Structure formats: structure tokens, C-alpha cells
Structure 1
Amino acid sequence: MKQQPQRTNLQVDDYLDLLNLAIQLGDLKWQKEITRKMEMSMSSLAAAQ
């Protein structure tokens, strides 16, 4: 069971890294896509609990 929180944390960290890169590049479309995917991921995690 410990692998799930670590995987989730890694996934969030990865999304945040990508979001930071998208911001630095000024890619608004990519920023929105990453944000949407993060929201979907977090809402599915909350629903699973």
C-alpha cells in the first residue's frame, strides 16, 4: 500500500515540473492541459479514498 502514495507524489511532482517548464516557455495551451490533468488525477484520488 505504500507504493500508491509514493507513485501519486511522484506523479504530482512530475506534473509540477512540466507545468513549470510550460510557464517558462509561455505555452498557455500546455499549461491548461497539465492543470486539467492534475485536477483529474487529484479528483480521482479523492474519490478513491
Structure 2
Amino acid sequence: MRTKRLRTRLSLDDYLDLLNLAIALQDEAWQKEITAKLEKMTAACAGAESSS
């Protein structure tokens, strides 16, 4: 029997919630990681909007 792998995607709001948690925990490494992901997400959104 084959099992399917499920991939969970986080939304922008989820990442913002995680960033708030990282800030509250004063975890600077995690903050940088989340911020980098958010920058990639917003750049991708901006690119999609400009090409339409």
C-alpha cells in the first residue's frame, strides 16, 4: 500500500504569528529565518502582480 505525503503550506498570517512568537522568545536566529522567508514570499507576490 502506498501512502501519500501531505505537505503543509504556511500562509503569510502564519509566518507573521511565528515572527511575533520568535520576537516574544527573543530568538534572533529564528526571527532572521522567518524574516527571510517573508521577504521571499512578498517578492514572489510582487513579481506575480507585476506580470499580470
For Structure 1 versus Structure 2, the TM-score category normalised by the shorter chain is: 0.7 to 0.9
- TM-score for both structures, normalised by structure 2: 0.71
Query: Is the helix fraction higher in 1 or 2?
Result: 1
- Runs of at least 5 residues in structure 2 that lack an aligned partner in the other structure: 1-9
- Return structure 1 stretches of 4+ with deviation > 2 angstroms: none
RMSD between aligned residues: 1.2
Letter in 1 for 2:33: E
Rg larger in structure: 2
How many percent of aligned residue pairs carry the same amino acid?
60
- Runs of at least 5 residues in structure 1 that lack an aligned partner in the other structure: 1-9
